[in-house]
Structure 1
Amino acid sequence: MSQPQSQGVSGPLSLATLYCPTCNRENLEAFAHCHACQTPLPKRYLRVIWPDDRAPLEPGSYLAGRFLVRGPDLVLDTQPGDPPPYTDSHLALIEPYLKLFAWRLHIPQVFGLLTQPEPVLLLELGPWGKVDITADLPILQLPQTLTGLTSAVPLRQAWTKAGLFRQLNWLWQLGQLWPVLTQAGVSATLFEPEYLRVEGAILRLVQLTLNPSSETAPELGQLLQAWSEWFPVQAVATQARWTTLRENLPQAADLASTYFQTQIQAWITEVAEDYTFTFDLATQTDKGPRRKRNEDNCYPPSETFLVAESEVLTLVCDGVGGHAGGDVASGLGIQAFTAALPELRHTLISGGDIQTTLETVIHRANDLIAVQNDAEERQDRQRMGTTLVAALAQQAQLYLAHVGDSRAYWITRYGCYQVTLDDDVASREVRLGLSPYRVALNHPYAGSLIQALGVAPSAHLRPTISPLIVDEDSLLLLCSDGLSDLDRVEQYWPTLLLPLLTDANSPTDLRQACQALVELANSRNGHDNVTVALIRFRVQPPEHTPPEPNYVQIFYPSPEELGSDVLLLEENFEPEQILPDSLPPAPENLRLSWLRVAVMVLVITMLAVGGWAWYQGYWLFSPHQSDPSSPPTTNSGY
């Protein structure tokens, strides 16, 4: 195995060299952006699942000549622009992760798979933190090198200091995860306390554990008994209610799961009545610098700012590019929802099934657009369509409705989380268990939608309705792909959105944040219309209720702080070790050679052919009901 020994800056901080994903220039790990092209430098930390009989590598060594070992099970990808290592000869090993792709808010995802010769699994987007880095590595002194990590802490550590509302939220998420993990054959994971971590209100799993066998699959009652021992509740009244809930749990597996979720939901509703919830909402849309008209729409209308205290509804619709009448379709989608406002409000107030009502309204919007298509005799690619992402909040309850590739992001002090899953070919490949997401992105139609409103009959439409519990100040961003393309939200949320939560003295309000997001989309993307809707949740606990502990450990330095850190580096090292031109050379396998030139020519040719194919058949609307990877309409994951 080739392991570069001279990468990075030697010395007390042991900085690695990262290769820019855009221009392939060498950069110090401490840099936030490439010194040559200003591309944001991702700090991609991966968890390594080693074979049972293999000892982990020593920190400072390299796995496969690319991944710098930072802890017993943690590596840093020093070549984030290169494709992940992967072989499809061990699909059974990664299948549970692929099938649970819709639940990636809680479950890490497969990055790649090495064979050396035993399979070595690499996981990404998981709750790795400082605790996973070897404690004596001085790299922990520089915060900007750790921005790829999270502030997750073990659930055992957080449980005893959390309030009842937060504990019930974690139990509610347990109830959501239990049936899907059971179906995937990995419910044993929830019996491993060391694999349970939390990032604020979010329950996250470090990795998955296969059930021993179908005959010995664990039961929910056994899990609740184990959790009662690991995570005890203190108050006498709370303990009595928890004991009663466990004792009354039905024996049948499906009934037990439904009963548990219903009881915890009712308990949360009671506790939340003592809290005060306020919703700030702002919207903005723009046609962008290159489009002749704006096919996006939003509700409330663009440049709205309002404050609500009971419930709030907001939507973003993106008339699908390449389809005549996209602006009409997105407008009809908004129209259907606004007409249903009294129905939605009545369902919320009466305690009805809001998820079913949302699905009904979405089907109604689909039919409204489809009727218009039929009346104008539009066929195939001439049929207009639209994406939809909607958020409906009342008190602690938040419901997301989603069709297409417009997205919802949930931002807390702990991180930025994409909570919707694009309805495109790449995501379908993953949920079918065919390949990891980064591999599926190489599919010639990876970004083509498999469903949108108005294009096919409602019988073939499978909207995703996802519930969430909000128990802390947080943000919800809905946006069209004019902003989300090229990971712009993931790259810029610390500077544009996080101050809305962390800096009480920040002059930035939601309207300014929306404007900044639109400007970001137009300047860094610019190829499409852009629409954003931003909700700020303010959660005020009852008097004398202590605040939830703050476990944030990963901080995102400001430009001024980044500058001071670079100066600190200059004080610790010789100047020639800091200047970009003096960085160590790239390994031979990264240098531009005749082979790389040939590959580039081949890629350009393939892109040209792919572009022609895209023009000929952009749409791949297949009957979505026949897709076994699709999550259920309710409890479909975040």
Structure 2
Amino acid sequence: MSAATVLRCPGCGDETSAGDRFCEACGEQLVTALATDADATDPAAERAVASEQERAAGVCRSCGGVVGEDGYCQTCGTKAALARDHFDAEPAPWVAMTCDRGVRHRRNEDAGAVSADPEPSSRAVLVVCDGVSSSTDSDVASLAAATAAQQVLSAGRARGIGTPDSQTAAIVARLEAAADAAREAVVASTAADSPDPASCTFVAAVVEDGRIVAGSVGDSRAYWLPDRGEGVALTVDDSMAAELIARGVPREEAESGPQAHAITRWLGVDAPEHTPRTRTQDIDSDGWLLVCSDGLWNYCSEARDLAGLVRRTAAEHDGRPLATTAALVDWANAQGGRDNITVALARLTSGRT
């Protein structure tokens, strides 16, 4: 591998070079990659080096010892987990995300990206992308897609012509642009001759001016979960299960059938039309905005049930979003963790204009 080979920072997904020690975008410490020039054109070697780069020095999860730059604990010898296997983000105290490999998958094909202004309930962006396991390099594609979408959605504030309807229309236009950018990032992550082109789902929610605007492609979801009353699903899956539900099949039966997770729309070079379907929700009470992959809702699909789960979990963790997202991931893993899990939360209060 030459020194000019481009890798991705495990912390933020920004481009880094093989010889870099720190990410210029977020400051994440990187492990210097070592490879011979003979490996430069070997994709498998590049992925192996990229994986070793992700094993940044840190604390061993097995014994609490120090993990060396070789990726092994200096106390017990355990090989460190990839940074991508489990990561958290907390851009502000009222917004957080946890992404985890789960119990059964060998790699984490989920990804997410969040941003927020410091003032609670003011402005935030929550994005989750779930890589399609049957496609090649879906883990790379999902991270690239989530990062690209978050950057588009965080770049500016939607004003329209100053009316609520025009502001919402401007946010919807940004969501569509974010989906375009996410798809382009997936395509850029796909080899030209790939027999199984990389693909992923897409869901994003924008909090701005007292409202939520959410949009999705695939079966990752957004929910509005008020502290009192019924929860609301802000997205509709593009899936065979959703089509069965629309025909009158009970949700539990449709979502547990053999094609429950067969999606009908996605992001990728072979994708059909990918304009996100959107919905707007006024923040008319205190509550939680939840954006998640199917690794969570597999075990708790109905909005009313998720509302109860989030309320209980948040109460057990003093209403702290990051502790709550981490606990929800732990809960999903305790149910079986059969898929990767991404949970993003924003704590929202009413009364803003």
Q: Deviations over 1:319-377 (max 9, x none)?
A: 1123221111111212321331455425569746221231132123213312432x432
Aligned to 2:129: 317
SS in 2 for 1:353: helix
335, 338, 346: which one aligns with 2:147: 335
**CA distance 1:534–1:441, change in 2 (3 Å):** closer
Aligned partners of 1:287 and 1:293 also within 8 Å: yes
Aligned to 1:253: none
Aligned partners of 1:296 and 1:531 also within 8 Å: yes
After TM superposition, the structure 1 = structure 2 runs for residues 11-410 of structure 1, keeping only pairs within 5 Å, are: 280-300=94-114, 307-308=119-120, 310-341=122-153, 343-346=155-158, 351=167, 353-373=170-190, 375-379=191-195, 382-410=196-224
SS in 2 for 1:449: coil
Aligned partners of 1:305 and 1:511 also within 8 Å: no
Which structure 1 residue ranges, 5 or more long, are not aligned?
1-277, 543-638
Aligned partners of 1:497 and 1:513 also within 8 Å: no
In structure 2, C-alpha distance between the alignment counterparts of 1:342 and 1:442, rounded to whole Å = 36
**CA distance 1:514–1:383, change in 2 (3 Å):** same
**CA distance 1:391–1:334, change in 2 (3 Å):** same
Aligned partners of 2:313 and 2:327 also within 8 Å: no
| Aligned-partner residue type, residue 517 of structure 1 | L
Compute the displacement of 1:296 (Å): 1.2
Report the structure, 1 or 2, having the larger helix content.
1
Compute the displacement of 1:284 (Å): 0.9
In structure 2, C-alpha distance between the alignment counterparts of 1:442 and 1:310, rounded to whole Å = 38
Aligned to 1:419: 234
Aligned to 1:473: 286
Given the two structures, how large is their TM-score scaled by the length of structure 2?
0.63
In structure 2, C-alpha distance between the alignment counterparts of 1:296 and 1:331, rounded to whole Å = 7
In structure 2, C-alpha distance between the alignment counterparts of 1:342 and 1:313, rounded to whole Å = 7
In structure 1, C-alpha distance between the alignment counterparts of 2:127 and 2:188, rounded to whole Å = 22
**CA distance 1:296–1:541, change in 2 (3 Å):** closer
Aligned to 1:509: 320
In structure 1, C-alpha distance between the alignment counterparts of 2:154 and 2:319, rounded to whole Å = 33
Which structure 2 residue ranges, 5 or more long, are not aligned?
1-91
**CA distance 1:406–1:443, change in 2 (3 Å):** same
Q: Which contiguous aligned blocks of 4+ residues in structure 1 show a shift greater than 3 angstroms?
A: 304-310, 341-344, 346-352, 433-444, 488-493
**CA distance 1:365–1:496, change in 2 (3 Å):** closer
Q: How many pairs are equivalent? A: 255
Aligned to 1:448: 262
**CA distance 1:445–1:455, change in 2 (3 Å):** farther
In structure 2, C-alpha distance between the alignment counterparts of 1:358 and 1:286, rounded to whole Å = 25
Aligned partners of 2:131 and 2:199 also within 8 Å: yes
In structure 1, C-alpha distance between the alignment counterparts of 2:133 and 2:277, rounded to whole Å = 22
Aligned to 1:523: 334
Compute the displacement of 1:512 (Å): 1.7
In structure 2, C-alpha distance between the alignment counterparts of 1:295 and 1:463, rounded to whole Å = 21
Compute the displacement of 1:415 (Å): 2.9
Aligned to 2:295: 482
Aligned to 1:15: none
Report the structure, 1 or 2, having the larger strand content.
2
Aligned partners of 1:344 and 1:354 also within 8 Å: no
Q: Deviations over 1:199-221 (max 9, x none)?
A: xxxxxxxxxxxxxxxxxxxxxxx
532, 543, 548: which one aligns with 2:343: 532
Aligned partners of 1:282 and 1:306 also within 8 Å: no
Superposed CA RMSD in Å reads 3.3
Compute the displacement of 1:456 (Å): 2.6
Aligned to 2:58: none
**CA distance 1:347–1:387, change in 2 (3 Å):** farther
In structure 2, C-alpha distance between the alignment counterparts of 1:342 and 1:506, rounded to whole Å = 28
Aligned to 1:553: none
- Specify the structure having the higher radius of gyration (Cα): 1
SS in 1 for 2:323: helix
SS in 1 for 2:300: helix
Compute the displacement of 1:443 (Å): 6.0
In structure 2, C-alpha distance between the alignment counterparts of 1:394 and 1:479, rounded to whole Å = 19
